[in-house]
Amino acid sequence: MKASTATALRANLVLCSVSIAIAVAPCISLASLISLFDDSMPTLPYQGSIFLLAALIMLVLRWGARRAFDAARQAHKVQLIEKHGLEAWIDDDCPFAWLVQMHVELHGHQCIN
């Protein structure tokens, strides 16, 4: 497997895992507040709501990462280096550097600093 494919796959798995973890908290909290766990209802609606909320969180994070990357690119805080493979360099004082790194890794570039 190429390094760029492995990087993009790993970044997508991390994004999915983080989104699911973020989505679980409000869904479980809401279900326990309105005491839905006491009624022995099927778990499919809970799982579906967690999945839909996680998908929405993933889309919002991808959108925010794209905007942060575009802003960093305009401010010359990130450089994509094509000579030694797909690598990216992010400046230390880049605002929202974690979002920029996420966008870069989702597209198969490895971050070097």
Structurally, the chain folds into a number of domains equal to: 1
State whether residue 111 is helix, strand or coil: strand
The pLDDT averaged over each successive group of 10 residues in the chain (113 residues) is: 82 93 87 70 78 95 94 89 77 88 87 73
pLDDT at 29: 83
Q: Which domain holds residue 76?
A: 3-112
- The DSSP-derived string for 43-96 is SHHHHHHHHHHHHHHHHHHHHHHHHHHHHHHHTT-EEEE-TTSSEEEE-TT-TT
